[in-house]
């Protein structure tokens, strides 16, 4: 579960429906639903600059959703050249660099550049890591993306 302070809503994936639900934390009232993935949604992040939500899923896709309408405006598999798609387990937005990072079960972390010129486009930037990562974080002081894997190694 996550909380969006700007919108004052809590959101979480709903396993039996593959949706993301939004809840008013003060009243417990269901506010909104993002529906469209065909398997468990693993992460949902708010991209305030573009008034979007991004989701990653075990269905091997990522999606971008309009904040106000909940309409899916971009949907893609996370393949890179000559690779099979993998279930997506991590998702993180770096607002300074305007990059969306996705992480797959096989350890690939991909940085995606968002471009909005009337319509939303994503330009795939690069594959960052090949080993499986269990945690992603931006170091605010150094502005590096840090990844940690099962053996305790930290990569930036």
Q: CA-to-CA distance for 96 and 143, rounded, in angstroms?
A: 9
Provide the 3-class DSSP secondary structure of residue 70.
Answer: coil
With beta carbons less than 8 A apart as the criterion, state whether 59 and 72 touch. no
pLDDT score at 154: 46
Residues 150/88/58/15 CA torsion (nearest 10 deg)? 80
Segment 63-115, tens digit of pLDDT:
999 999 999 998 887 665 566 778 888 888 988 888 888 888 877 778 888 87
Q: Are strands 30-34 and 19-23 parallel, antiparallel or unpaired?
A: antiparallel
User: What residues are paired with 43 via a beta bridge?
Assistant: 56
What residues contact 129, with CB distance under 8 A and at least 6 apart? Answer: 103, 107, 108, 109, 147, 155
Total domains, the chain: 1
Segment 31-43, tens digit of pLDDT:
999 999 999 999 9
Query: Comparing 83 with 7, which gets the higher pLDDT?
Result: 7
Question: CATH code at 30?
Answer: 2.130.10.10
Look up the pTM and report it: 0.77
Query: Comparing 110 with 118, which gets the higher pLDDT?
Result: 110
Residue 73 lies in domain: 2-155
DSSP code of residue 150: T
Provide the 3-class DSSP secondary structure of residue 24.
Answer: coil
pLDDT score at 147: 58
> What is the average per-residue pLDDT within 110-123?
75
């Amino acid at each position: 579960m996550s909380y969006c302070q700007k919108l004052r809503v809590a959101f979480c994936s709903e396993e039996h429906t593959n949706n993301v639900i939004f809840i008013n934390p003060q009243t417990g009232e269901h506010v909104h639903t993002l529906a469209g993935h065909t398997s468990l949604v693993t992460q949902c992040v708010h991209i305030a600059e573009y008034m979007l939500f991004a989701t990653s899923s075990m269905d091997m896709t990522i999606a971008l959703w309009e904040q106000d309408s909940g309409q899916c405006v971009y949907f893609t598999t996370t393949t890179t050249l000559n690779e099979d798609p993998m279930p997506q387990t991590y998702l993180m937005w770096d607002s300074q660099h305007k990059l969306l990072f996705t992480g797959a079960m096989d350890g690939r972390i991909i940085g995606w550049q968002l471009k909005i010129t009337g319509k939303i486009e994503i330009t795939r930037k690069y594959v960052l890591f090949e080993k499986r990562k269990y945690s992603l974080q931006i170091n605010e002081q150094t502005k590096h993306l840090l990844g940690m894997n099962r053996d305790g190694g930290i990569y930036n």
